[in-house]
Chains A and B, each alone.
Chain A
Amino acid sequence: MRNVTIIGAGPAGLAAAIAARDAGAHVLLLERAKELGGILNQCIHNGFGLYRFREELTGPEYAGRFIDGLHDIDIRTDTMVLEISSGSVTAVNPKDGLFTVTSDAVILAMGCRERTCGAIGVPGDRPAGVFTAGAAQRYMNIEGLRIGKRAVILGSGDIGLIMARRMTLEGAEVAACVELMPYSSGLNRNIVQCLHDFDIPLYLSHTVTRIIGRSRLEAVEVAEVGPDRKPVPGTEFRIDCDTLLLSVGLIPENELTRAAGIAIDPHTNGPVVYDDMETTQKGVYACGNVVQVHDLVDFVSDEGERAGRAAASGQPEGAYTEVQPGSGVGYVVPQRIRHEGAEDTVTLFFRVRKPCRKGSLVVYDGEREVLRKKRLYMTPGEMEKLPISRELASTAETLTVTMEEDT
């Protein structure tokens, strides 16, 4: 029986744990929080599981479906992994102290973190009342705290939109949602049900140019941005508010991965993975938002299951074909397709760089076009999926995925 250690019990880790166990492995699941489910616990809104369960579940319900299936798995919560190196995982918790486990496979499922005010370099003061949307969500939904009376949301990512509705329902006023890009990065459904439902204005091509307030936030200065995404002088206006929520992007959390010497893809900030989710280090797999930031949890679970099955069986090494993003495409996962594998078809996941109402996804082997699929309505906010046959992949030198807009 193979031993599999999984780091993280969010949606990716939970799905990986169940799949690995079902494939016959002995599974140890390590989670830094006191509870299983990861970020799903604070995502109390619905819309999870449409693909997988044909239902609109809330985050806790979605997690609950997996937690229900966790029998015959060793679980340690309140446990932080400090280090991974060649099959060994060193972790701490208050009960077991410092311990090292050696296993046949390790699955990385640490998720991602939010980009902060510092990361986007907003000038101004540093008062209380500036939150990442996720931190605000935790305060409201887990701690049951009211965080502000009048809020501005910077970034129209889904978490920001969801929080606009959540704060409004809990009695706060959301003065505006401000988006740097000329389009929203959130789902239409959230634009409608979180902003339009409550008459919250969305300022596209705008950004927050100054944070004002010595102790608690008092106001933000907002300005229009030009095509270079730089503020246009003279367009500044002030919005009084005591709360600023930042929903400006997510970054895969790969400090452990980097420290372990696993190759990181600069496009995703996640580990380079094979189609079975193995990283460049033999026996170390990765899945979920640690690999690429997803917009639907259903695909996180799919990735987790793929990693779990592969970790339990232990894929043989072998020849592979590299996959890389080309024109119009931001990144591609997996970055490597094995020539031998359990499935005949491999699905490529990626994001286009800008919205496109009508176009094609085109895959090249060098200069030679090998696959072309028409697509309507592509946007960076929604992950694209493109199945490709393993046979085709295995005969190619290098695959390049591109997006061509119809003119």
Chain B
Amino acid sequence: MKQELICIVCPSGCRITVEDGQVTDNGCKRGEVYALKEVTNPTRVLTTTVRLTGAEPVRLPVKTERDIPKGLLFSAMRQLDAVTVAAPVRRGDVVLRDVCGTGVSVIACRDVG
């Protein structure tokens, strides 16, 4: 299968082609590594909010501590819909462990209270 993608390693934004594990049109080695990862196991850091009680802001910004498989972003969002955090909370506090069975924690991004 032939896949085309835009490289995000540097601002040049090469249009890289990947076909049967062969990377072409990449401008550099880093682009090849990026492209192979994107087509085999694309991952993203998820940033969103969760409900917050006991403080003036009603939402707490959170993120996955590490990147998680791209395909799990929506499942992770649905899982976080059910999470409510009570203030006070500190940056780095874990608000949800092992999101979607990835072993990755979701942590608070902000001090509140």
Contacts and interface: CB of A to CB of B under 8 A. Distances in A.
A–B in direct contact per CB < 8 Å: yes
B87 to A, nearest CB: 13
A189 interface: yes
B95 to A, nearest CB: 13
For the complex of A and B, 9 pairs with smallest distance between CB atoms:
A60-B110, A44-B61, A188-B13, A189-B8, A144-B59, A377-B12, A60-B109, A58-B109, A144-B58
Nearest to B38: A192
A382 interface: yes
B5 to A, nearest CB: 7
Interface of B: 5-8, 10-13, 44-49, 51, 56-59, 61, 63, 70, 73-74, 77, 91, 109-111
B82 to A, nearest CB: 14
Contacts of A141: 49, 59, 61
A188 B7 contact: yes
A142 interface: yes
Contacts of A149: none
A197 B10 CA distance: 18
A61 B62 CA distance: 10
A169 B7 contact: no
Nearest to A198: B73
A319 interface: no
A69 interface: no
Contacts of A170: 48, 77
Interface in A196-225: 196-197
Given A58-B61, A196-B6, A44 B47 contact: yes
Contacts of B57: 142
A interface, how many residues as a size bin?
Answer: 20 to 34
A56 interface: yes
B74 to A, nearest CB: 7
A379 B12 CA distance: 9
Interface in A139-188: 140-144, 166, 169-170, 187-188
A61 B6 contact: no
Interface of A: 34, 41, 44-46, 56, 58-61, 64, 67, 140-144, 166, 169-170, 187-189, 191-193, 196-197, 357, 376-377, 379, 382
Given A60-B110, A196-B5, A382-B11, 5 more contacts: A44-B61, A44-B109, A188-B11, A197-B73, A377-B10
A46 B63 CA distance: 8
Nearest to B76: A169
Contacts of A144: 49, 51, 58-59
Nearest to A62: B109
Nearest to B80: A169
Contacts of A196: 5-6
